[in-house]
Structure 1
Amino acid sequence: MFANSHDVQLVSTVTDDSKIVWKSFYDSVTLIAVAEDDHADDCHMMNFIGYVLSIMVLLLGREDVKAIKNVERFKKDVRVCFPMIDRLIERCDLLTFGDTVNAVDTIASSENTVLQSFLDAFADCAASPYGCLMVHGKVAVATRKWWSLTSEELVLLSMLVSSLTQCSSRDIPVFLPNLSPEVPHRLMTFQLTRNVEVCVLCGPSPGLTELEEEVGRFWRASYDLLRSILLVHPTNFSISSTLDTSLLGFVLVNTETNRCLCSIFPHGNDDDPLEEHERRHILRSYYKHVVGNFFSSKVEGSGKGPSEFTHVAMDTYLTTDTHKCYAMLSPPHQIYALYKPSIPTFAMRSITEKTLFALIKDKGVQL
Structure 2
Amino acid sequence: MMFQEGSIQLVCLTASSGVPLFTRGASRQLPFSVIGSLNGVHMFGSGQGVVLSSCETEGGGKVVWQVFQDSVMLIAVSASHQAGQGADSSKGEHLHLQRLLENVWSCMVMVLGQDELVNARNLERLKKDLRSCFSLIDELLEERRPGILGQLTHCADCLLPPQPSLLQEAVHGFTKAADSEFGCLLIHGRVAAATEMWWRLAPQEIVLLLALIRALSDSGAASCDYPVFLPQGSPTVAHRLLRFQLLPGADVCVLCGPTPSLQGAESTLVCRFWSPLTDTLRNCLAVGEHCLPTSVTLRPDVLAFLLIHRESHRSISCAPSPSCARPQSDPPSPSEARCWELLKLFYIFCTTRYFKQEEAEAAEEVEGGAHPENTEDFVRGFSHQPLKCYLVTDECKCFALQTAQHQLFLLTPLTAPTFALNTIAAQTLSSITAATSF
Which interval holds the TM-score relative to the shorter structure? over 0.9
Q: Are 1:46 and 2:98 matched, yes or no? A: yes
Moved more, 36-45 or 159-168: 36-45
Alignment CA distance shift 1:353-1:273 (3 Å): closer
Correspondent of 1:335 among 391, 396, 408? 408
Mapped to 1, the partners of 2:294 and 2:300 lie a distance apart of: 15
The residue correspondences of 1:58-207 to structure 2 (distance < 5 A) are: 58-91=110-143, 93-164=145-216, 165-207=219-261
Please identify, of 88-97 and 297-306, the stretch whose mean Cα deviation from structure 2 is larger: 297-306
Q: 2:155–2:203: 8 Å Cα contact kept in structure 1?
A: yes
Partners of 1:268 and 1:173 in 2: CA distance:
46
Q: Deviations over 1:75-123 (max 9, x none)?
A: 1101111111111111164210111111010001222221111111111
Q: Residue 351 of structure 1 aligns with which residue?
A: 424
Match of 1:30 among 66, 73, 81: 73
8 Å Cα contact 1:93/1:277 also seen in 2: no
- Mapped partners of 1:267, 1:130: distance in 2: 39
Amino acid at match of 1:251: L
Question: C-alpha offsets along residues 43-66 of structure 1, whole Å, 9 cap, x if unaligned?
Answer: 332111100000000011111111
Range that drifts further, 242-251 or 92-101: 92-101
Partners in 1 of 2:322 and 2:294 — Cα distance?
11
* Kept after mapping to 1: 8 A contact 2:54/2:63: yes
Change (3 A) 1:299 1:265: farther
Equivalent-residue separation in structure 2 for 1:74 and 1:269 (angstroms): 55
Quote the offset at 1:18 in angstroms: 1.1
TM superposition score normalised by structure 1:
0.95
Q: 1:280 to 1:40 in 2, by over 3 A?
A: farther
Does 52-61 or 301-310 show the bigger shift? 301-310
Amino acid at match of 1:179: G
Distance 1:270 1:84 in 2: 41
Match of 1:244 among 299, 324, 339: 299
Structure 1 stretch 333-342 or stretch 83-92: which is displaced more? Answer: 83-92
Maintained 8 Å contact 2:307/2:316: yes
* Letter aligned with residue 222 of structure 1: L
Asked if the contact 1:235–1:267 (Cα under 8 Å) also holds between the matched residues in 2, the reply is no
Structure-1 separation of matches of 2:301 and 2:323: 13
After TM superposition, the structure 1 stretch with the greater mean CA deviation from structure 2, 235-244 or 37-46, is 37-46
1-structure distance, mates of 2:283, 2:167 = 11
Higher-Rg structure is 2
> Aligned-residue CA RMSD in angstroms?
1.9
Q: Which residue of 1 aligns with 2:317?
A: 262
Q: Number of aligned pairs? A: 365
**Percent identity, aligned pairs only?**
35
Amino acid at match of 2:423: S
For 1:168 and 1:251, the matched residues in 2 are separated by 31
Counterparts of 1:215-294 in structure 2, within 5 Å, are 215-265=270-320, 273-294=333-354
Look up the equivalent residue of 1:12 and give its one-letter code: S
**What secondary structure is seen at the aligned counterpart in 2 of 1:27?**
coil
**1:307 match:** 377
- Contact 2:162–2:283 (CA<8 Å) still a contact in 1? no
* Closer/same/farther in 2, CA of residues 47 and 336 from structure 1, 3 Å limit: same
* C-alpha deviation, 1:275, in angstroms: 1.2
Separation (CA, whole Å) in 2 of partners of 1:137 and 1:241: 21
Q: Is the 8 A contact 1:291 1:297 kept in 2?
A: yes
What residue ranges of structure 1 are gaps of 5+ in the alignment? Answer: none
Q: Distance in 1 between matches of 2:199 and 2:323?
A: 29
Where in structure 2 are the equivalents of 1:315-326 lying within 5 Å? 315-326=388-399
Following the alignment from structure 1 to structure 2, what is the Cα–Cα distance between the partners of residues 273 and 342? 10
Secondary structure of 2:394's counterpart equals coil
How far did residue 357 of structure 1 move? 1.9
